[in-house]
Structure 1
Amino acid sequence: MPMLQFRSPVAEDAYRCHAIETGAYEGDEAATLEKIATRITQYPQGFLLLESDGDIVGFINSGCAHQVVMSDEAFKELVGHDPAAPNVVIMSVVVDPAQQGKGYARQLMQAFVAQMKAAGKQTIHLMCKAQHVPLYEKMGYRYVQPSPSEHGGMAWHEMVMAL
């Protein structure tokens, strides 16, 4: 049984996170190394890593906003992010493709939700592809609408969880 541990990132983790992100997402969906490094530096409280036996196998990263506009591409670079804002916007929920199917995404999400509740946040928002909508509904998210975002040339769907 692997030893699992959740932790906050440090700057050096950006390279491994970028490798996981580019391996798991299609085409232009993946965040650049620079965006991941910015998210770690500017808002480590919204970035949660999962390690298995000391190796990073997945992560969630986010920013916070007073008014959530899911299609705002600049927000992915934390433009308009306010750590004191009540609404969390998840930018990535990703598990290394070699580690998928082990329940790591669910465990990451449960730990992340608990962390955001403890921080006094009110809502968590995310966008996902159509095939992931049922998964997020099982995790407690409510479907909002198809998103106007065309990030990475894909169709996205907006989801929200009230905390």
Structure 2
Amino acid sequence: MDKNEIFQVSINNKKIDVTIRLAENENDLEQIINIENVCFPPSEAAKRIDFVDRFRTFKENFVVAEINNNVLIGFINGNTTDKPELPDELYHDVSLHKPNGDYQTVFGLDVLPEYRNQGVAEHLMNYLINISKERGKKGMVLTCKDHLIHYYEKFGYKHKGVSNSNHGGSVWNDMIFIF
């Protein structure tokens, strides 16, 4: 799926086109890093070096939401793996990425606060779900906090219980979506 998706959001009673597309370049990467730092506390936000390594290793798994000629307002990313699980090591060790792995992971789904609650995250997730299916994946895995379990269930994810993850010192839940 190399086809862009376009929809509209309303900001201050003005309609704005949003394009969902695969990330392309270093400018996208810099904006992704900035968005991560707005959306997550420092203990949970991915470090710059991790994003640089991820982007170099699996750029094809970065999907962005863009407005106004290359201004990003959100993104989703993750690697692929052979196991239907998301251990903490995957976040930091790009050598564990399996390009032909059976499962797409979701490391983060970030949308800038002023663009939330307008479907941006939903469009990002659906785009990644669709390309994962097209790429022949068996399913997707992610971890989330308690208050987001119901959100991911609406896409088809099933709650597997509390995760072994201690990422950022928080409690996470394992979620899986088998296609």
Q: Which TM class, normalised by the smaller chain length?
A: over 0.9
Segment of structure 1 superposing worse, 5-14 or 37-46: 5-14
Match of 1:19 in 2: 34
- Rounded to whole Å, the distance in 2 between the matches of 1:117 and 1:86 is 10
RMSD value, Cα: 1.3
Gaps of 5+ in 1: none
- Alignment-mate amino acid for residue 58 of structure 2: Y
Q: Could you tell me whether the CA contact under 8 Å between 2:33 and 2:48 is conserved in 1?
A: yes
Q: Could you tell me whether the CA contact under 8 Å between 1:39 and 1:47 is conserved in 2?
A: no
Q: Could you tell me whether the CA contact under 8 Å between 2:78 and 2:105 is conserved in 1?
A: yes
Query: TM-score, normalised on structure 1?
Result: 0.93
Residue 8 (1) aligns with residue 22 (2) = yes
Shift of 1:59: 0.6
Equivalenced residue count is 162
Match of 2:49 in 1: 34
Deviation by residue 1:42-71 (Cα, 9 ceiling, x = unmatched): 111111111123311111111111124423
What secondary structure, in the 3-state scheme, does the structure 2 residue paired with 1:113 have? helix
Query: TM-score, normalised on structure 2?
Result: 0.85
- Rounded to whole Å, the distance in 2 between the matches of 1:52 and 1:135 is 24
Q: Could you tell me whether the CA contact under 8 Å between 1:65 and 1:85 is conserved in 2?
A: yes
- Rounded to whole Å, the distance in 2 between the matches of 1:15 and 1:44 is 13
Identity rate of aligned residues, in percent? 25
Q: 1:47 aligns with which of 43, 50, 62?
A: 62
Q: Could you tell me whether the CA contact under 8 Å between 2:63 and 2:75 is conserved in 1?
A: yes
Shift of 1:100: 1.3
Residue 149 (1) aligns with residue 165 (2) = yes
Gaps of 5+ in 2: 1-14
Q: Could you tell me whether the CA contact under 8 Å between 2:78 and 2:104 is conserved in 1?
A: yes
Q: Could you tell me whether the CA contact under 8 Å between 1:39 and 1:61 is conserved in 2?
A: no
Q: Could you tell me whether the CA contact under 8 Å between 1:14 and 1:33 is conserved in 2?
A: no
Deviation by residue 1:86-132 (Cα, 9 ceiling, x = unmatched): 11111111111222121111111111111111111111000000000
- Alignment-mate amino acid for residue 5 of structure 1: T
Shift of 1:33: 1.3
Match of 2:89 in 1: 74
The structure with higher relative contact order (CA 8 Å, sep 6+) is 1
